[in-house]
A and B are shown apart, each in its own frame.
Chain A
Amino acid sequence: MDAIITVENLQAFYVLEVMGERKVIKAVNGVDFAVLRDEVYGIAGESGCGKTTLLKAIFAALEPPLRIFEGKVYYYPNGERVDAFSLAGEARRKLRWTYISYIPQGSMSVFNPVKRLRITFLDFLKSHVGGKREEELLTLAREHLVRLGLTPQVLNGYPHQLSGGMRQRVAIALATLLKPRVILADEPTTALDVVAQRAVLQLLRDVQKEFRSTIIVVTHDMGIHAQITDRMAIMYAGRIVEEGLTKDIFARPLHPYTRYLIQSLPKVGDKNTKESAPGSPPSLLYLPPGCSFHPRCSEVMEHCVQEIPPLKKINESHWVACWMREG
């Protein structure tokens, strides 16, 4: 199958000057994966493990203090391979929204609070669609909203007049205006109630079906991954520790951390208290030696403390980074 995004040995760190001292936060620390055409790819992991940073790097939105130290991200527009980091400004601008689009975390606040949504939609359209009159662009925006099952009326309102769920859906509509091939969605359902969550998920599914886009969904909520993703990766302390088909991961989780994540999901008819991983995530400033998960792992072995486990292929589509799965 064709890849639409590939990430190779990516290292993206935050470099801070603290009291004249250089501190490096290793938020993404050697990540490899490929996302295929037409799939929904999930990335899971607890807060602070580097999910948002990974998406920013894929989107090539590198504001200081974030810096790429190693690795590459490739796009595949029109079948040819393009290095995302060495794209010139104008070429990158052209690919955004048409090839790759981003729904940021906390996208409740992505709209200009003092302008009607119409103006914001027009600003984004104008920057990519040339030679059209304002009226035509507006029609485009309206049609897009209707196709996604949203009322075009929202364009006449201000952001603060919409509910959280509605604002999230309008943000998705804004990101997909130009039918991008790849959509990065960062925590699209967090902070929404269950009903709004369902509506947002449905919208993402519709977008995928309607435009045949590839979607990368980042969320710490394993329930969402179970509902919507085809394949997924589990991230821990800036690394991918397990990757596979979503159904395989839920049926046969291989990494102890993955098992914790799945066990912490509430199940119907389950009276047991939820069990999450004991302890807290490590500081990305001072990673423990060996496998970063070893201080919290119940099955820790001597080897785990000494060496970082590589991501190993278990079968066709299932990979895991854990010394227990050696041989």
Chain B
Amino acid sequence: MRFVRDYLIPRLVQYVLVIFFGITAVFLIPRFTGQDPVLEIIAQIQTQGGSLDPIAVRKLTETLQELYGLRGTLWEQYVNMWRRVFHLDFGPSLFQFPTPVSELLRIYLPWTIGLFATSTLLAWLLGNVLGGIAGYFSSQSWSKILDAVIMVIRPVPHYIFGVLLLILFAYVWALFPAGGLMLGRRTVVDLRFVMIILRYSFLPALTLVVLGGAGWFQQMKLLVQNVRREDFVQYAQAGGVKERVIISRYVMRNAMLPQITQLALVLGQVFSGVLMVEMVFSYPGMGLLLYRAVTRGDYNLVMGIAILSIFTITTAVLLLDLLYPLLDPRIRHR
């Protein structure tokens, strides 16, 4: 089938290639920069007052090299790394020694995925629906006002926008907590638990939905203004098809397709935004974990986060690519 050959297979190949090269890059970068994390850690321990005798230093070096997968030739290390990736074994975390990195990731990842998935979906839907309607009625004043507001919001980076919301709604006007949700053992999922999660997730999600939505809004508005001039829309208008049907089934439905492709393209950036927002609000996800790992020089953890994120994003992109033909018959029935 041509669909399989021209659409499906290239995307699967791309999926495998991006993961392969991405993880290889994560492996190679530390080795190219000429920095030795092991030496750094030992230096760190020594500056923190622990005087180590030479034998202890050598033993520690060996242990750390073992743990970090830094033993043997470059090739051996590389093969070894892939074996560890497949076993989801990234060694121990340094700042929560000896908790394995994979254990930390297992705790924090669901929080990130939850925030990432809901806020991205909400932003996409909200931005596209509002942008579509504003684009269709682009000469009306409410559409212009909305556009002007978005012109100010859109260029603000995630981190700054998050800080602004945090100051406004957690300090000046203390409606929401300024972060600090602890990840304890989850006991029962009751209403209180859900309410707590909502309270702590509201501002991070708001940041992501507003900023993301602003972007989708503007693109959709442009797209709709173009689609509106297409023959099939003008013809349906001439034929007296109801305006509601024209907006939804003719204009939005068609303008939506490039927005799905676009979503796949920017998903990596969107994910980066999620991590930054998590840092602002101390939301217990990968972003916060990353912040702690970076500020404490925990290479293993940073690498684990990077590798897992590459998996998450590429898989999400693949899912979008697989979803697309369901919505575009020109791809499905070639």
Q: Give yes or no for direct A-B contact (beta carbon below 8 Å).
A: yes
Residues of chain A at the chain B interface (Cβ within 8 Å): 59, 61, 63, 93-94, 96-97, 102, 104, 106-107, 109-116, 119-120, 123-124, 126-128, 158, 160-161
Q: Which of B230, B231, B238, B242 contacts A96 (CB 8 A)?
A: B238
Does the CB pair A59–B231 fall under 8 Å? Answer: no
Q: Which of A102, A109, A127 contacts B232 (CB 8 A)?
A: A109
**A94 nearest in chain B by CB position:** B240
Report the minimum CB–CB distance from A106 to chain B (whole Å).
6
Does the CB pair A124–B238 fall under 8 Å? Answer: no
Does the CB pair B241–A123 fall under 8 Å? Answer: yes
Q: How far is the CA of A106 from the CA of B330 in the complex (A)?
A: 19
- Provide 28 A-B residue pairs closer than 8 Å at the C-beta atoms, listed in order of the A residue: A59-B238, A61-B238, A93-B240, A97-B239, A97-B240, A104-B231, A104-B235, A110-B231, A110-B232, A112-B232, A112-B236, A112-B253, A113-B232, A113-B329, A114-B253, A114-B327, A114-B329, A114-B330, A116-B329, A123-B239, A123-B245, A123-B249, A124-B236, A124-B239, A124-B240, A127-B241, A128-B240, A161-B333
Q: How far is the CA of A111 from the CA of B230 in the complex (A)?
A: 10
Residues of chain B at the chain A interface (Cβ within 8 Å): 230-232, 234-236, 238-242, 245, 249-250, 253-254, 257, 327-330, 333
Q: Which residues of A contact B238 (CB under 8 A)?
A: 59, 61, 96, 102
Q: Which residues of A contact B333 (CB under 8 A)?
A: 158, 160-161
Q: How far is the CA of A120 from the CA of B246 in the complex (A)?
A: 11
Does the CB pair A96–B240 fall under 8 Å? Answer: yes
Does the CB pair A111–B232 fall under 8 Å? Answer: yes
Report the minimum CB–CB distance from A90 to chain B (whole Å).
9
Q: How far is the CA of A109 from the CA of B230 in the complex (A)?
A: 8
Q: Which of A94, A114, A115, A127 contacts B242 (CB 8 A)?
A: A127
Report the minimum CB–CB distance from A153 to chain B (whole Å).
14
Report the minimum CB–CB distance from A9 to chain B (whole Å).
25
Q: Which residues of B contact A110 (CB under 8 A)?
A: 231-232, 235
Does the CB pair B239–A106 fall under 8 Å? Answer: no
Q: How far is the CA of A225 from the CA of B327 in the complex (A)?
A: 43
Q: Which residues of B contact A97 (CB under 8 A)?
A: 239-240
Q: Which residues of B contact A116 (CB under 8 A)?
A: 329
Does the CB pair A114–B239 fall under 8 Å? Answer: no
Q: How far is the CA of A59 from the CA of B240 in the complex (A)?
A: 13
- With A109-B231, A114-B328, A158-B329 already in contact, the answer to whether A127 and B250 are too (CB < 8 A) is no
